[in-house]
Amino acid sequence: MRRTLKGRGCLGVLVVAALVLAGCTTTGGGTAFGGKRNCTTVTMAVSPEKLALLTELAATFNKDKIDGKCVDVRVAKTSSGAGATLLTEGWPDEPANGPKPVVWSPAASSWGAVVNQRLSDKGQAAIVPTDAKPFMLTPLTIAMPRPMAQALGWPNTPIGYSDLLALANDPKGWAGKGHPEWGPFKLGKTNPNFSTSALSATIAQYYAAVGKVRDLSLEDVNNPQVESAQRGVESAVVHYGDTTLTFLNNLYRADSRGVGLTYVSAVAVEEKSVIDYNTGNPDGILDPGERPRPPRIPLVAIYPKEGTLFSDNPLFILNAPWVSPVQRKAAQAFEAFVQRPENQRKVLRFGFRPGNPSVPVAAPINAANGVDPGQPQTTLGLPTPQVLVRLVEKWGELRKGARVLLVMDVSGSMGDDAGNGDTKLELAKRAAITALDQFKSDDLVGLRIFSTQIRAQEPKDYIDLVPVGPISADREQLVHSIDALAPTNGTPLYTAASAAFDDMKQAFDPARINAVLLLTDGQNEDPRNEDLDGLVRRLRSGSEGASSGGNTVRLFTIAYGRDADLAVLKRMAEATNGASYDAHDPTTINQVFTAVVSNF
Amino acid sequence: MPRRLFALLAAVAMVAGAFGMRHLLDQRKEDKAHPLNLICVPDLTALCQIIGQRTDINVTVEPASQTSGRVVALNGALGIDGWLTTGPWPSMAEAGRQAKGLPRMFTTTSPPVLARTPVVLAVWPDRAAALRQNCPNQQIGWKCLGSVAGKRQWKDVPGGNPIWGPVKIALPDPGNDAAGVTVLGAAAVDYFGRPDVAAADFEDDAFRDWVSGLKSTTPTREPTFSEVLATGKSLEDVYAGLEADVQPALAQYARADKPVLLYPAPMTTVDLVLAVLPGRAGQRVRVLVASAVKDHLADLGWRLTGGPGRQPALPALGAGGGVPDPGVLDALRLVWKEAA
């Protein structure tokens, strides 16, 4: 009897313990990622530009209770294009990609349409609602250095894509507008697979080409005459990329050296970025102690006369199987919270227009910052999801061709463990092979490896395994060659970078984006060549101003692993108005490679 | 004897009470076994949410055209107990069923009106000034609005500014939207200048051109009025909608250049109706919905039938009417669909 009672007592203790544990568990699966106890966790995946603001708002919101229960809104950064891809794939690999979001906030509603269409193509139900309110707004603009805009008639003459197309197709370039010193017209535009401004710009280009403002159709997108116009615009592109910040940072540096007007003539960016640039904060992030300094030549926002699109930053409460009714309700409460006037006024601080029209549009959205709150005159209709998806595919076919030399470090340290059982070289090889799929069939790609004394005769420090040629013909050879790479000696970084730059410049192809993609895991280990300043001077003089001869080769660098010298690689890349990418964590190399190749 | 009679009566009463109690219990059991289903049109989302929150009714939001299509085509159970929509739709659907020789679906062909709201136009001031130059007596009405729409570009409209680009007029879609068909009906009445518009009138080529002009400026998906206000005049020059949606949003609007609110003649109202199916479930839906929404209709901007609503400064409603009958409206929907 006593045993039975004792047994019951134990059972009771277990039940109580289980209940206590259950009570300690957050609602909706928040425990796996450290949500507050006894709270409903609302995970949010938001595009980078609103991370700081939404984090601040969430902290305030989390202090109150909803229906007597606490809510823990947790905000994580995910770029719009990456979020769209992850949602299409069911948001795999939560440890790497973050928790499945209850709320997804890309920069624009168009991404929601893309996700729903991709799911529909896979026979799956839509998960993104179509009636979300805008949280904050910013229109897509064509940012131009003020003198260039003035040369096109700004501010008295409306300017549009048709004017840019005419300028891009004019062999005289800016000379036709009385400014031969500015060279050809150069457009900065990102990759619409990644970037909202690029997606919006691509939509706007198509509308401009067909003369519509709504209801862009598949027939329009597939029209050969429209294709021709698209090729014309794309031909003026400097390079692509995953973020407009690369252009703005490069332009800002070029401006500080007095050569801004030769780097890029126009960049498709959001109005908010024009404000950031003109206030001396081109990437929109002020580091501690950083003092913004306005550029010498400010940008002005051109609102294309054919119309434009707004980035509306919706808060999509997903209709996904992992979203519980309790989480949905909490998310709705947060959505209502961010729409309150006192919270909407905060978006102005970040250069956005409030989504709630009960809050006035005010400074910094004003002429002093190169923007016009009375613009745009026409908002273009968002195409149907089918058209959107086709449009992005079509861009892949019509974009400017690339001529790229892939330069890979095969020094001995590449054989070190990457932290997950693979060597760094193994991970890099897989990422490079995967990235080859991002090139289009008529792109030209070559493969060079480097390490000290890698061969007996000159040049001793690098070998061209696959000469630059059409990837359609060389793909197998590239894959085979990358797959066979093995670690060898030291890192003659400066020699390799300089030689690759020179070789690509020598055979420059003006119809393509000419670039060197250099991956290294270390620092320069070559006593024969240690002159970094000299290298940077050479790269710069070969990339901008009259000394470049117009044959601009961009250097894109990947700092791979803990020992890579990111600062040096950044200097080298920026000297050519390219960009440097950080893959200090070797397991991120796949994403980083994808981001780098998005430039071509 | 009286005591026996009393005892007998008491016994009968107890038996009757027992039967009554049994019946009540059975009904409750049946009610629990039969969850109530209501279809609500997207224009009434705020009301639908209130019903969903305050009752046990399963609320599904669906465009009026879809529900109507099913009502007309079904020769069996609809799978719902009620349809919360705007005026002409249940009547149009019943007319469609009658034409196919099918029995009536709802308890009545003209469900009672729960509340009303006028059709209004919200126009940005500079656009309103330009439109007035093109309208008789400077009164912006449907007919002149359609004529301006037919010019497609503001550069071709007297008083228009070329930088405004294309003429953009947002009308609720008469093909799908609950309020859209009423709006188009009012526009047709204004075009012909008489209320007794008939389907035969729609054969007129000039009228069809006029409808095409109007349609050409209308987006495939009408934005919400909040979207229009948030993005400014670049999205729409003119927004046609319900006073219940437009007036409260305008009252909150705090930016310069506030759109003007117009009541185009003839003043037309959109009626909020609840069509229910015969039987106890339909009856329960009627009671529950009426109880759930009665305190919220005025707050949501609707005018209660017989009352002034919460905004006495707004113009009084007319006697109603002014919209063609359901059969004619259905023909008008077809004209809209066929318009280029």
pLDDT greater at residue A544 or residue A403:
A403
Closest partner CB to B231 (pick from A137, A356, A359) = A137
Which among A320, A316, A300, A367 has a CA at the least distance from the CA of A130? A316
CA-based nearest distance B235→chain A, Å? 5
Mean pLDDT of chain B: 89
Q: How confident is the model at residue B12 (pLDDT cuts 50, 70, 90)?
A: confident
CATH number of the domain enclosing B333: 3.40.190.10
Closest partner CB to A378 (pick from B165, B224, B227) = B165
> Are residues B141 and B262 both part of a single domain?
yes
Tell whether the model's pLDDT for residue A483 goes beyond 90.
yes
Chain A positions touching B258 (Cβ under 8 A) are none
> Are residues B194 and B228 both part of a single domain?
yes
Those of residues 320-379 in A touching chain B at CB distance below 8 A are 353-361, 374-379
Q: Return the biggest CA–CA distance within chain B.
A: 101
The residue of chain B with its CA nearest to that of A314 is B227
Q: Worst-scoring range by mean pLDDT, A19-23, B60-64, B175-179?
A: A19-23
Sign of CA pseudo-dihedral A479, A483, A487, A489? negative
For residue B21, tell me if it sits in a domain. no
- Any A CB within 8 A of B246 CB: no
> Are residues B293 and B186 both part of a single domain?
no
Distance CA A513, CA A254 (A): 19
CA-based nearest distance A352→chain B, Å? 12
- Choose from B44, B61, B221, B227 for mutation: most chain A CBs within 10 A: B227
For residue B262, tell me if it sits in a domain. yes
Cβ proximity of A317 and A332 under 8 Å? yes
**Helix B88-99 and helix B180-192, axial crossing angle in degrees, nearest 10:** 90
Residue pairs spanning A and B at CB distance below 8 A? 61
Distance CA A514, CA A265 (A): 18
Number of domains composing chain B: 2
For residue B16, tell me if it sits in a domain. no
> Are residues B325 and B183 both part of a single domain?
yes
- Any A CB within 8 A of B127 CB: no
For residue B326, tell me if it sits in a domain. yes
- Any A CB within 8 A of B219 CB: yes
Q: What is the mean pLDDT of residues A157-161?
A: 95
Q: Give phi and psi for A570, each to the nearest 5.
A: -65, -45
> Are residues B245 and B299 both part of a single domain?
no
For residue B22, tell me if it sits in a domain. no
The residue of chain B with its CA nearest to that of A344 is B230
Q: What is the per-residue pLDDT across B31-49, written as a single tens digit (0 to 9) for each?
A: 666 799 999 998 898 899 9
Cβ proximity of A540 and A594 under 8 Å? no
- Any B CB within 8 A of A305 CB: yes
Cβ neighbors of A176 (< 8 A, separation 6 or more) are A167, A170
pLDDT greater at residue A26 or residue A73:
A73
The residue of chain B with its CA nearest to that of A384 is B220
> Are residues B155 and B109 both part of a single domain?
no
Distance CA A29, CA A67 (A): 19
- Any B CB within 8 A of A134 CB: yes
For residue B263, tell me if it sits in a domain. yes
> Are residues B39 and B164 both part of a single domain?
no
Tell whether the model's pLDDT for residue A463 goes beyond 90.
yes
Q: Inspect the interface and report whether the beta carbons of B165 and A377 lie closer than 8 Å.
A: yes
> Are residues B106 and B121 both part of a single domain?
no
Q: What is the pLDDT of residue A21?
A: 40
Q: What is the per-residue pLDDT across B293-339, written as a single tens digit (0 to 9) for each?
A: 988 998 899 998 755 555 556 787 766 556 888 889 989 999 999 99
Q: What is the mean pLDDT of residues A248-265?
A: 92
Structure token pair of residue B159: 């008083």
Q: What is the pLDDT of residue A18?
A: 42
Q: Are strands A316-317 and A353-354 parallel, antiparallel or unpaired?
A: unpaired
Q: What is the per-residue pLDDT across A131-152, written as a single tens digit (0 to 9) for each?
A: 899 999 999 999 999 999 999 9
Q: What is the mean pLDDT of residues B122-127?
A: 98
For residue B8, tell me if it sits in a domain. no
Q: What is the pLDDT of residue A13?
A: 46
Distance CA B40, CA B32 (A): 22
Chain A positions touching B227 (Cβ under 8 A) are 134
Q: Inspect the interface and report whether the beta carbons of B249 and A357 lie closer than 8 Å.
A: yes
Q: Inspect the interface and report whether the beta carbons of B254 and A357 lie closer than 8 Å.
A: yes
Is the backbone of residue A200 left (phi > 0), alpha (psi -120 to 50) or beta? alpha
Ranges of beta strands (E only) in A381-436 are 401-409
ipTM of the complex: 0.81
Q: What is the mean pLDDT of residues B161-187?
A: 91
Distance CA A113, CA A110 (A): 5
Distance CA A266, CA A273 (A): 13
Which among A304, A41, A36 has a CA at the least distance from the CA of A160? A304
For residue B27, tell me if it sits in a domain. no
Which among A306, A311, A364, A278 has a CA at the least distance from the CA of A140? A311
Domains observed in chain A:
23-107+314-350 (3.40.190.10), 137-312+366-394 (3.40.190.10), 401-597 (3.40.50.410)
Closest partner CB to A361 (pick from B168, B235, B255) = B255
Q: What is the mean pLDDT of residues B169-197?
A: 90
Q: How confident is the model at residue A318 (pLDDT cuts 50, 70, 90)?
A: very high
- Give, for B191, the enclosing helix (H) or strand (E): helix B180-192
> Are residues B199 and B327 both part of a single domain?
yes
Tell whether the model's pLDDT for residue A120 goes beyond 90.
yes
Distance CA B245, CA B248 (A): 6
Chain B positions touching A376 (Cβ under 8 A) are 234
Q: What is the mean pLDDT of residues A441-455?
A: 95
In this structure, the number of other CB atoms found within 10 A of the CB of residue A208 comes to 26
CA-based nearest distance B125→chain A, Å? 14
Chain B positions touching A158 (Cβ under 8 A) are 163
> Are residues B261 and B246 both part of a single domain?
yes
Which among A201, A182, A179 has a CA at the least distance from the CA of A190? A201
Q: What is the pLDDT of residue A33?
A: 47
End-to-end CA distance of chain A: 80
> Are residues B129 and B221 both part of a single domain?
yes
Q: What is the per-residue pLDDT across A508-528, written as a single tens digit (0 to 9) for each?
A: 999 999 999 999 998 999 999
Ranges of beta strands (E only) in A254-383 are 266-270, 299-302, 310-311, 316-317, 353-354
Is the backbone of residue B256 left (phi > 0), alpha (psi -120 to 50) or beta? beta
- Any B CB within 8 A of A213 CB: yes
Q: What is the pLDDT of residue A23?
A: 38
Which among A80, A72, A86 has a CA at the least distance from the CA of A108? A80
Q: What is the pLDDT of residue B318?
A: 67
Q: What is the pLDDT of residue A166?
A: 93
- The percent of residues in chain B predicted with pLDDT above 70, rounded, is 92
Q: What is the per-residue pLDDT across B258-298, written as a single tens digit (0 to 9) for each?
A: 999 999 988 888 999 999 999 999 999 999 999 999 889 98
Domain of B146, in residue numbers: 117-270+314-338
Place of tokens 């060898």: A488
Listing DSSP states for B227-252 in one string gives: HHHHHGGGT-SEEEEEHHHHHHHHHH
> Are residues B196 and B51 both part of a single domain?
no
| H helices present in A450-598, as ranges | 471-483, 493-506, 532-541, 566-575, 589-597
Q: What is the per-residue pLDDT across A358-413, written as a single tens digit (0 to 9) for each?
A: 999 999 999 999 999 999 999 999 999 999 999 999 999 999 999 999 999 999 99
